[in-house]
Amino acid sequence: MKIIRNLHAMTLWSDRLRREGVTIGFVPTMGALHDGHRALIRAARLRCDALVVSIFVNPAQFGPKEDLSRYPRPIARDRRLCRAEGVDVCFEPTPADMYSERFQTSVMVPELAGRWEGTARPHHFGGVATVLVKLFSLVRPHHAVFGQKDFQQAALVRRLIADLNLAVGLTVHPTVREPDGLAMSSRNVYLSPDHRRRAPVLYRALSAGRQAILDGLRDGRQVDRIMKRMMAEDRIVRPEYLAVCDAASLEPLKKVSGSVVLLGAIRIGRVRLIDNVTVAVPSAGSARRGRRSA
């Protein structure tokens, strides 16, 4: 496995392979790799000849009070995981190379960025969109794989690729979960043992909402209420939002129909966690009869 830190060297590597007709897969990460990332890497591996994983804790997507400095950076372990998964290039640019002193350009996807995570983290998605355009330009992938866990990010990336004609194929890979349902996240390591035990309540609430929809419920506010009731069972976990939304626009749905996502964010102590589940709601004719398979 090659470790590339220099931006120009990354582009040269990709250009050479592209000229040879090699297809390039790409998994952008902030490191602290876990089994969720491993699943993304394997999915990308299957779709492409050569595979680049970037490890870059992007300062631009952290707010001033967020966990940039204490974000975990176990680089040796990350490289071992990449090597074991047959990654061809581990791309590790430096913040100084990525953001020069005169840097001023930003990429915005304002409608998708303004909701949900964007409310709690106002600069987050601008930072994400900007760094992704940069990474796509540097790595020049044919295909990129993102995790469904960051559903809003994936929706935004889809819009970004379409709007800027970036010609990058996109796979959104299902969330990988711990046995008790907790979505894998690099931030799970922050949880105390007690908080770790409580954290799966978010997934249980989202799943209850989905089940209600599968059982035929179509009133978005009633689904919200079911999720909130389940969350209220734990007094330590504070919900930030729980919502039933259109899966493309992320607008909350009064009437549940089409491609639907249930989004949630919670705080436990100082840790903030997000999760989501999706459900396809059949057309009105068959909706009333309910549908029990996910």
Q: Is 114 annotated as a binding residue?
A: no
CB of 83 to a second copy, least distance (A): 26
User: Which residue's CB is nearer to a second copy, number 104 or number 293?
Assistant: 104
Q: Is 21 annotated as a binding residue?
A: no
User: Which residue's CB is nearer to a second copy, number 105 or number 293?
Assistant: 105
Contacts by residues 198-202 (CB-CB < 8 Å, ≥ 24 positions apart) = 198/234, 198/236, 198/237, 198/268, 199/237, 199/266, 199/268, 199/273, 201/230, 201/231, 201/233, 201/234, 201/237, 201/266, 202/231, 202/237, 202/239, 202/264, 202/266, 202/273, 202/275
Q: Contact residues for a second copy (CB under 8 A)?
A: 7, 11, 18-19, 21, 100, 102-112, 129-130, 133-134, 137-138, 159-160, 162-167, 248-249
CB of 291 to a second copy, least distance (A): 28
CB of 162 to a second copy, least distance (A): 7
Does 37 participate in catalysis according to the annotation? Answer: yes
Q: Is 185 annotated as a binding residue?
A: yes
CA 141 to chain centre: 18
User: Which residue's CB is nearer to a second copy, number 33 or number 112?
Assistant: 112
Separation of alpha carbons 22 and 154, rounded Å: 25
Q: Is 138 annotated as a binding residue?
A: no
CB of 240 to a second copy, least distance (A): 24
Catalytic residue, chosen from 37, 124, 142, 173, is 37
Amino acid at site 190? Y
Separation of alpha carbons 187 and 114, rounded Å: 23
Q: Which residues are annotated binding-site positions for ATP? A: 30-37, 147-150, 176, 184-187
Q: Which residues are annotated binding-site positions for (R)-pantoate? A: 61, 153
The set of catalytic residues is 37
Q: Which residues are annotated binding-site positions? A: 30-37, 61, 147-150, 153, 176, 184-187
